[in-house]
Structure 1
Amino acid sequence: MKPHHAPARRRHRLVVQALLSLSLASTLSLSQAASEAPQALAQAQQLFLAATQGDSAAIEKAVEAYTALLRAEPGNPSLMAKLGAATSLRATTTMLPWKKMSHAEEGLAYLDKALALLNNTHDAAAAGQIPIALDTRFTAASTFLALPGFFNRGPRGNKLLQEVLNHPQFAQTPLAFRATVWMQAGRAAEQGERRDEARKFYQLVQEHGAPQASKAQAKLKALQS
């Protein structure tokens, strides 16, 4: 009995760890957006940040906050993507393996729907802001790439990440967001054993003097060993 269930328990533990790691890829972009958002959205974003950083009490509050926001704007892909990411974090609140999987899959369903809602109107943004298309794709990409391989989301996560990097508006987004994307791209390249590509992204973070420059430097140093 124990040998049969041990691999499943390890897989579920990986799901929990992967979902928590989403904060490493999204914290700066969410914080930047919150400074310009209406109060309800800013509160939801802060709850989500707290949830991804390990505050289990904030998870359900974040889900409730994004649910309310999405109810007011049911066609907003960015809000739906954030609800999906927050819903996935519910997997960290239960010890029951089937519930962990259920929460993760429910969150992924929201993310899939958010991506399906994107159209050309979501590509534009005011100066200094992040287009909905980029925010939505990056939220989904970060979540997909964080998940263990048995979810089979890695290839789509990499594709979405490339779409963000290649988007015509990417160069006009705030540096904090661009650097967050570069750091995620560097990690994805490392996971794919593409060390030269990883170095390129970490060097971009350093060269632009982004807030994550020290983390990028540490990554570059590790790649030299």
Structure 2
Amino acid sequence: MKTRTLATLCSLSLLAATYVTAAPSEAIIAQYNQAAEGDEDKVEQVYQELDAQIKDQGADPLSLVYLGSTQTLMGRDAFMPWNKMKYTEQGLATISKGLDLLNSQPKGLEDQQIRQGLPEFLLARSIAAATFTSLPDMFNHFDRGYEIFLDLLADNTFTTQHYDAISWVYIYAIQAALRAEDRPQAQKWLEEMQTQQPNHPMTLQATAIVEQAA
């Protein structure tokens, strides 16, 4: 390894500190969850808090993904069609920046913060995939989101996380598989859920989704 000057090392330390503290708080994520579930009053609030945090502390993958997903919610709630397009496209670009940053700055599990019961990078990919696959076809991001699900749910790092933390991801992935007319994959993911916790509420919900799509 090349020798670095003390100034360079200090600079890297400051960047690392910023990177660690920039991840969104559980409070902001809770507000985002309410916004995603349809609480329009929370959307602008979450956007403002995430945007201010990133400007103040610097960007990290998870915050960018949440910010981008929030922008797509602004598109969802916008009245004018051009605003729906504008906000959603801005959100997709922001999520892509988050994923690019995630890929360019890999971190071991032991170095990642836990958010919503998951290591932050797993959560970032989950939110990105759920957002991409939930949007109308006109935005041309469904295939990308589905590919993220295929990779994510085949990753042992993900599948060995606590079931309560990953079961919701399976739900979105199964819905995406059915939308892609990939019923064998949807059935496979459902069977994985049933193997882990057959009577869990999310497993029962997934079972109903697959059965209704038959």
Pick closer, same or farther for the CA change 1:76–1:98 going to 2, 3 Å: same
**In 2, are the aligned partners of 1:205 and 1:213 still within 8 Å (CA)?**
yes
Render the CA deviation track for 1:169-216: whole Å, top value 9, x for unaligned.
113322123222222221122112222221121222233224402202
Kindly indicate whether residue 71 of structure 2 is the aligned counterpart of residue 81 of structure 1.
Answer: no
**In 2, are the aligned partners of 1:187 and 1:198 still within 8 Å (CA)?**
yes
**Distance in 2 (alpha carbons) for counterparts of 1:68 and 1:41:** 13
Q: 1:165 deviation in Å?
A: 1.5
Matched residue SS, 2:46: helix
Matched residue SS, 2:129: helix
Pick closer, same or farther for the CA change 1:194–1:127 going to 2, 3 Å: same
Question: 1 or 2 for the larger relative contact order (CA 8 Å, sep ≥6)?
Answer: 1
Q: 1:213 aligns with which of 175, 187, 203?
A: 203
Which residue of 2 is the match for residue 111 of structure 1? 95
Q: 1:72 deviation in Å?
A: 4.1
1:30-109 matches, cutoff 5 A: 41-109=25-93
Larger of the two Rg values belongs to structure: 2
Point out 4+ residue stretches in structure 1 off by more than 6 angstroms: none
Q: 1:76 deviation in Å?
A: 1.1
Render the CA deviation track for 1:73-116: whole Å, top value 9, x for unaligned.
42310011001111111123331111111111111111010011
Which residue of 2 is the match for residue 20 of structure 1? none
TM-score for the superposition, normalised by structure 2: 0.77
Kindly indicate whether residue 107 of structure 2 is the aligned counterpart of residue 122 of structure 1.
Answer: yes
**In 2, are the aligned partners of 1:91 and 1:100 still within 8 Å (CA)?**
yes
Matched residue SS, 1:122: coil
**Distance in 2 (alpha carbons) for counterparts of 1:127 and 1:143:** 22
**Distance in 2 (alpha carbons) for counterparts of 1:144 and 1:114:** 13
Q: 1:120 deviation in Å?
A: 5.3
Pick closer, same or farther for the CA change 1:94–1:150 going to 2, 3 Å: closer
Which residue of 2 is the match for residue 150 of structure 1? 138
Which residue of 1 is the match for residue 190 of structure 2? 202
**Distance in 1 (alpha carbons) for counterparts of 2:30 and 2:154:** 29
Render the CA deviation track for 1:37-66: whole Å, top value 9, x for unaligned.
99x712211211111111111110011121
Which residue of 2 is the match for residue 5 of structure 1? none
**Distance in 2 (alpha carbons) for counterparts of 1:173 and 1:120:** 22
Pick closer, same or farther for the CA change 1:152–1:170 going to 2, 3 Å: same
**Distance in 2 (alpha carbons) for counterparts of 1:92 and 1:221:** 28
Which residue of 2 is the match for residue 11 of structure 1? none
Pick closer, same or farther for the CA change 1:174–1:120 going to 2, 3 Å: farther
Matched residue SS, 2:58: coil
Pick closer, same or farther for the CA change 1:198–1:56 going to 2, 3 Å: same
Q: 1:172 aligns with which of 160, 173, 178?
A: 160
Deviates more, 1:198-207 or 1:120-129: 120-129
RMSD: 2.5
**Distance in 2 (alpha carbons) for counterparts of 1:41 and 1:127:** 10
TM-score for the superposition, normalised by structure 1: 0.74
**Distance in 2 (alpha carbons) for counterparts of 1:181 and 1:46:** 16
Identity %: 26
